[in-house]
Structure 1
Amino acid sequence: MSNKGLIIEERARDIGDFLVGRLLPFRKKRTVGPFIFIDHMGPSTIGPGSYMDIGQHPHIGLSTLTYLFEGSVRHRDSIGSDQIIEPGAVNWMTAGKGAAHTERTPEPLRDGRTTNLHGFQIWVALPKELEFIEPVFHHFEKATLPEWNSNGMTFTLIAGEAYGRRSPVPVHSPLFMIQIKATENASLQIKGEVTGEIGICVVSGHVMACDQRIDAGSMIVSKTEDACKVVVSEDAHLLLFGGQPLPEERHIFWNFVASDRTTIEKASQLWKEKGFPEVEGDDSYIPLPE
C-alpha cells in the first residue's frame, strides 16, 4: 500500500467515553495501540481504465495488513512473495529494515469485465527493538482465522488475541483486530475481552455509543479500556481493533514509520538513490514525494 498523503483534517469530536473521527490517524488520536494508519479502500468498481496498479514503493518500521471484503489484489514484494489475496484472507508483510512491494489487479480479472474492490489496508508499527528486523511476508487463508457466533453477531479474529482466542498472524506486540457482522440489534461486549486501547471502524450500518449514533465511514476510539458500551445495528459491519500502545512516539513520512526521524531521512535518501531491494522483474518506481 502506498500512502499518498495522510489526510487528517477531518474534525474529531468528543462524545463522552469516546472520540469520533474518520480514518487513522485523526487529529485528536494519532494511534490506537500499535495501529498507526488505516485506509478504508473502496468500495470501488475495478475494470478497464481503472485497474489497481500501485507500482513499487517502500516501507520501513511497520507491518502492512491487507484484508478484503470484495475483490482480489496481487501482492508482489522484494522478499520474493507473489500472492493473490481474496476476501477473508490476510496478507501480512513485515517490512522491518526495508522492503518494497506492488499491488495490482490480478491478470485473470483484466478481461474487460468490472468487479468490486473493498477492504482495509492497515499499518502496524513495530516495537523499537524490532524496527530493523529482516523483512518477511505471511499469508493466511480465511479458513485459518478463528470465527465464532455470539449474540446475533459473527466474529472473525483477523490478528492478535481477543475473546480467549488467537489468530495465526505473527504479530510483534499485543494487539487485536476483529471483524464483526451483526444480523440483529445487539449489545457488543468488549470489556474483559480485549486489552489495551480500543477503536471501532464502522464499515456499514451504525453503532450507538454514549447515546450518539455513529454511522458508516466513522471510527470511534475509547478513552479508557473499560468504557465501551456499544449497541450495534442489525446490519452493522465493524472492525474492532487496538492493543497496547508502544512506549515511544512514532514518526511517519510517506510510507515510512520510525521511532527516530533520522531513520526516516536515511530511508528517504536510499529510496531516492534506488538503493532499496526491488521486486524482481518489475521496473516500476513511485518517486519520493517532495
Structure 2
Amino acid sequence: MSNINLIIEERPASIGSFMVGRLLPFKDKRMVGPFAFIDHMGPICLSDTENLDVPPHPHIGLSTLTYLFEGSIMHRDSIGNEIEIKPGQVNWMTAGKGIVHSERTPTYLRNSDKMMHGLQIWVALPKELEGMEPEFFHVEEKGLPEWIEGGVHFKLIAGEAFGRKSEVPVYSPLYFIEVKSTSRQTLKIGMELFGESALYILEGAIESEGNTFGPKQILVAKDSKLCEFDMQENSTIYIFGGEPFAESRIIYWNFVASSEETIEKAKAMWLEQSFPPVPGETEFVPLPLQSKNVKPRL
C-alpha cells in the first residue's frame, strides 16, 4: 500500500521581477508541519540589464529561509541587517510581530550576466511566538551538518534529524534535509522522521512502489515514515516536515497568523506605512487589496 498521500506539482507564479515555481501552499494541502510556503526560483539566466529587485515588503508571524544553489542576493531589513547570501548559505529571518526587507541583485553583479536558482521558504511560528521581536541570522555552510552514508550525501539545512542539529535557530520541531546521490541508491529513512513529512525532487528522479517521480514535484507522505524508495543517479531531493500546530493558520499576502485580527492589524499598518523602514530604501511593495485571505485546512 502506497504511503504517498498527495502529489503537488510546481505552478508558475510571479514575484515581480521574474516567474517562480510555487509549491506551497496548495489547495489540498496548505502546510506540511510548520512549512507554509515554498517557492522554487529558477534556474534562470539574468542578462546584464535584468536583475532581481524585490522592494521592501513586510512579514509577520513566520520565519523565512532562503537557500541558493546558484547566484547571489543582497538582503536588507528594517532591523539594520545588510548581507549578501551565496550558494550553500542560509538566511533565516524571523518576522515575529513585524519586519520589512528587500531582496536585490548585489551592486557588483547588476551589469553582468548572472544565474539565479534557489528556494525561498516560509515556516510559521508557534502561536505564542507570533508577536516576538524580529530577528535575523546568516548561517555559513559550515554550520549545516553534512555526512555521507551508503554513497548518499546528506546536509541538514534546518532543524534536527538523524541525531544532528543545524545552527539555524528554529522555533518548533522541524527538519529540512538535502539528499544527493550520483549513483542509484535505495533509502530507508522514514523511522528517523517525525510529524508530517514531504519530499521535493529538485533534479533526477525517485522510484517508489513501481512508480517513478521526476523534478518539480512534492510527494506528501500519509505519515512521517517515507518508507523505502530508490534514488536514480544524479538526483537531488529535499525532505522536510515537522510537528504540525494545533491551530490553523491564515495566510494573506506576506502575512501568516493564527487570528484574523492580527492579519487585519498588519494590513492597516502597511497601508499606513507604519512598519519600520529599511535603511537606504525608498520604494515599497503595495498591499494587494484584491487578494483574499487563504485559510488552511489542516
Task: State the TM bucket, normalised to the shorter chain.
Answer: over 0.9
Give the alignment of 1:55-134 within 5 angstroms: 55-111=55-111, 113-134=112-133
Deviations 1:189-211 (A, max 9, x none): 22222211111111000111232
- Equivalent residue runs for 1:134-173 within 5 Å: 134-173=133-172
Q: Is the 8 A contact 2:250 2:259 kept in 1?
A: yes
The residue that corresponds to 2:6 in the other structure is 19
Q: Secondary structure at the match of 2:283?
A: coil
Matched, 1:242 2:241: yes
Residue 191 of structure 1 aligns with an amino acid whose one-letter code is G
Query: Aligned partners of 1:230, 1:242: CA distance in 2, in Å?
Result: 18
Partner of 1:259: 258
For 1:184, the aligned partner's letter is: S
| Separation of aligned partners in 1, 2:151 and 2:184 | 8
What whole-Å deviation, never above 9, does each CA across 1:58-108 have from its counterpart, x for those lacking one?
Answer: 000000000000011000000111110000000000000000000000111
Query: What secondary structure sits across from 1:96 in the alignment?
Result: coil
Structure 1 distance, partners of 2:198, 2:45, is 28
Percentage of identical aligned residues: 50
Kept in 2, the 8 Å contact 1:16–1:210? The answer is no
Give 1:282's aligned amino acid.
Answer: E
Deviates more, 1:259-268 or 1:188-197: 188-197
Deviation at 1:16, TM superposition (A): 5.1
Query: 1:209, 1:174 → 2: CA distance?
Result: 27
Separation in structure 2 between the aligned mates of residue 47 and residue 77 of structure 1, nearest angstrom:
26
Matched, 1:193 2:180: no
User: Which 5+ residue runs of structure 2 have no aligned equivalent?
Assistant: 10-22, 290-298
Query: Structure 1 regions of 5+ residues with no counterpart?
Result: 1-13
Aligned residues: 276
Deviates more, 1:267-276 or 1:223-232: 223-232
Return the TM-score normalized by structure 2.
0.90
For the aligned residues, what is the CA RMSD?
Answer: 1.3
**1:165-222 C-alpha deviation (Å, 9 max, x unpaired):** 0001110000000111111111122222221111111100011123221110111010
Equivalent position SS for 1:192: helix
What is the distance in 2 between the residues matched to 1:284 and 1:209? Answer: 48
Q: TM-score if structure 1 supplies the norm length?
A: 0.92
Shift of 1:281: 1.4
Structure 1 residues 18 and 212: alpha-carbon distance in aligned structure 2, compared to 1, 3 A threshold: farther
Q: Distance in 1 between matches of 2:75 and 2:250?
A: 26
Question: Equivalent residue of 2:108, what SS?
Answer: helix
Separation in structure 2 between the aligned mates of residue 170 and residue 186 of structure 1, nearest angstrom: 31
Deviation string for 1:109-135 (max 9, x for gaps)?
123x21111000000000000000000
* 1:37 alignment partner in structure 2: 37
Output the CA distance in 2 between the equivalents of 1:97 and 1:229.
41
Q: Which residue of 1 aligns with 2:15?
A: none
Runs of 4+ in 1 over 6 A off after TM superposition: none
Secondary structure, counterpart of 2:190 in structure 1: coil
Q: Is the CA contact (8 Å cut-off) linking 1:161 and 1:194 kept in structure 2?
A: no
In structure 1, what is the Cα distance between the partners aligned to 2:136 and 2:74? 14
Q: CA deviation at 1:262?
A: 1.2
- Rounded to whole Å, the distance in 2 between the matches of 1:154 and 1:137 is 28
**8 Å contact 1:40–1:119 — kept in the other structure?**
yes
SS of residue matched to 2:159 = strand
**CA separation of 1:227 and 1:45: change in aligned 2, threshold 3 A:** closer
Cα distance in 1 between the residues matched to 2:216 and 2:128? 34
